[in-house]
Amino acid sequence: MLTERQIEFIRTIPKGENHIHIEGSIPARVALRLGKRNGVSLPFSSEEGMKAFVKKNVVDLNSFMKCDRLINSVCITEEDYFDVVYALAEDAKKQNIIYQELHLDYPLNEERGIAMDVVMKGYDQARKAALKDFGVEIVFIAGIDRTLPPTQCAAFIKNLEHYRDVVDGIGMDCEEKGYPCILHKESYEIADSLGLFKTAHAGEDDGSQNIWDAIDELGCQRIDHGVRAIEDPVLVKELVDRKILLAMCTRSNANACFLFPSLKEHSIRPLSEAGVICSISSDDPPYVGDLLWEYEGVIDEIGFDEDQMIKLARNSLEYSIRGQHHLPTFDAWVDDWKKRWN
């Protein structure tokens, strides 16, 4: 049960978010509107219906990806892609998120024959409108689907040379087991030559070796999730020494992908206590809840105190791709907050 102070803290602290997937985050209101606009039928007709559908059908990472593809199929035109990111920024503003790094998983659109230019132009226009209308700074990370052929992924990353003013980073997601990140070394070499920031989902549903490969072989400056780093003490020390951020999503790990029996047992606590730099994000809000809900879980169920939460929030800006200029605003908010309550 949260105190009045905790409720206000969660609502008002300026937040960054380092790990949220556009295609997995289409709000129900937008999915329904775009479905209607484009004549794409969905197996639900209300926000509640979408929640129930997701709850019933998502039982693991694989079923999650199927659901993700189904809902994303409502996006066809540039305007649709604009609407999705604009809606995400609108929701970010309500949560006092000032800086957000969005993974754009173009392969989910490519497989439906949508041209990259359509997607990128829609997202880019929305990024600009988000800053102007909501004061939310958005940075894009291009995500490759690790289950696809490496040559196809490399072609996608190569194409980013035409969108360097839109995209700032490269990431990798989808099922880890059977698809070690090392398969996509070429994509990361191309990303490196384009000057992109490098991150990868690793140590989520597979072990710590994937994290080692991501940082040593692919040159990743960040790891998304990385929850299984806790199984490897040498890796934990390495992450601390190299100041590598783990962009974690505790509810997604525990409640959507069932990597832990309960949120309480999530590895964010022992990893943070060992000195690993962590931040928290929502991953895919329609499936697991928004960032406020993520904050609430880390406080109420995992038991982080206020100073630990301030550290997580600060990390989301300090170790972001380019959100460090928000730190003075963040620190001023913390000073005011402490004066007010202490």
Judged by the rule CB under 5 A, the positions of this chain that interact with Zn ion are 283
Nearer to Zn ion, 83 or 283 (CB): 283
Rg of the chain over CA atoms, in angstroms? Answer: 19
Our CB check for Zn ion shows the closer of 126 and 223 to be 223
User: Given the complex with Zn ion, which of 64 and 134 has the nearer CB atom?
Assistant: 64
DSSP string across 111-167 = TTT--HHHHHHHHHHHHHHHHHHH--EEEEEEEEETTS-HHHHHHHHHHGGGGTTTE
DSSP 33-49: HHHHHHT---S-SSHHH
**Residue nearest Zn ion by beta-carbon distance:** 283
Bridge partners (DSSP) listed for residue 197? 169
Token pair for residue 256? 């959507």
CB of 338 vs Zn ion, minimal distance in Å: 33
Asked if 229 and 207 count as a contact pair (C-beta separation under 8 A), the reply is no
* Helix locations, 1-77, DSSP H: 4-12, 28-38, 47-57, 61-72
Assess whether 204 carries a catalytic annotation: yes
Shortest distance, CB of residue 39 to Zn ion, whole angstroms? 30
CB of residue 21 to Zn ion, shortest distance in Å: 6
CB of 26 to Zn ion, least distance (A): 15
Task: State the minimum distance, in angstroms, from the CB of residue 173 to Zn ion.
Answer: 5
Among residues 9 and 18, whose Cβ is nearest to Zn ion? Answer: 18
Catalytic residue among 204, 238, 265, 296: 204
Element (H, E) at 269: helix 268-273
What phi and psi, each to the nearest 5 degrees, are found at residue 80?
A: -65, -45
* Catalytic machinery residues: 204
